[in-house]
Amino acid sequence: MKTKIIIALALALIALIFLNIKTCGKLTDADNINSAKSDTIRTQKNEKGQYESTIAIMQGTVADFKKIEAGKDSTIAHLQSIVDKHTISATVHGTVTGNSINSGTAITKYDTITKNDTTYLYPTYATKFKNRWEDFSITANKDSFHLDYKVFNEFDYVVRYNKPKWYKARIPEITVTNLNTHTQTIELKNFTVKPPKNQKIFVFLGGCIVGAASTIGTAYAVKTLIR
């Protein structure tokens, strides 16, 4: 009797799983977009110490994407503003870069000021710091502070069909890897026009905005928008 109950429960569970998969397959484009809309960024560090962030792609028609309520989500609202009837795929990617840098200084010159037969020497301090991702040059004296800097970022974008759970159907997701280990993704959304029936996302997505992007901003808060 116990064996029969176990078998019956197992068959019921399998039936529910297949029913869930079948139901998911019947979702409209608008349903799929709204489902992906609520997805949140999942971030992890890879073996190189780089931040990898993944989120579901909002896939469907441009008309359906334009109709969804962005609400307080400024990222979706911005993505809607840049999508038009000719759009194939669009991505909004925001980052923040922060680092703590220690560097020795050198005195490059002295300003000489004489008051009441007394001479005062005011030094000008300078320092430079440069690596693969940062380039800083700083000078400071008694009256002012001057900073020239550049922060560099490079990103890898990969689009895949992933399974959120083993019993779920595969869904399209975009993963961005920040090659600069000091850079983290703080916003990421992608809309892609639904491909023809029985086809995966278009091949063009394989080269979606891959390469180098130079970013100028503060040393502790740099934001880039990739569109």
For the chain, give every domain's residue range.
Answer: 2-99+151-215
112 vs 75, more confident = 75
Strands 89-97 and 183-193: antiparallel
pLDDT of residue 195: 80
pTM of the prediction? 0.71
Q: How far is CA 62 from the centre of its chain?
A: 22
pLDDT of residue 112: 82
Rounded (5°) CA angle 96-224-94: 65
Residues in the chain, overall count: 227
Residue-wise pLDDT for 2-55, tens only, equals 676 677 666 666 666 655 555 544 567 788 898 899 899 999 999 999 999 999
117-128 confidence digits (pLDDT tens): 888 888 999 999
Q: 158 pLDDT exceeds 60?
A: yes
**CA distance linking residue 225 with residue 227, whole number of Å:** 6
What percent of the chain clears pLDDT 90, i.e. is strictly above it?
49
Q: CA 13 to CA 96: how far, in whole Å?
A: 45
pLDDT band at 185 (very low <50, low <70, confident <90, very high): very high
- pLDDT confidence of residue 1: 61
* Residues 189-222: tens digit of each pLDDT: 999 998 877 665 544 444 444 333 333 333 333 3
Which amino acid does the sequence have at 12?
Answer: A
22 vs 90, higher pLDDT: 90
CA dihedral over 44, 72, 160, 158, signed as positive or negative: negative
pLDDT for 17 = 63
Q: Please write down the HEC assignment for all residues of 50-111.
A: CEEEEEECEEECHHHHHHCCCCCCHHHHHHHHHCCCCCCEEEEEEEEECCCCCCCCEEEEEE
pLDDT for residue 205: 47
Task: Establish how many alpha carbons lie within 13 A of residue 126's alpha carbon, considering only the half-sphere containing its beta carbon.
Answer: 8
The rounded mean pLDDT for the chain is: 81
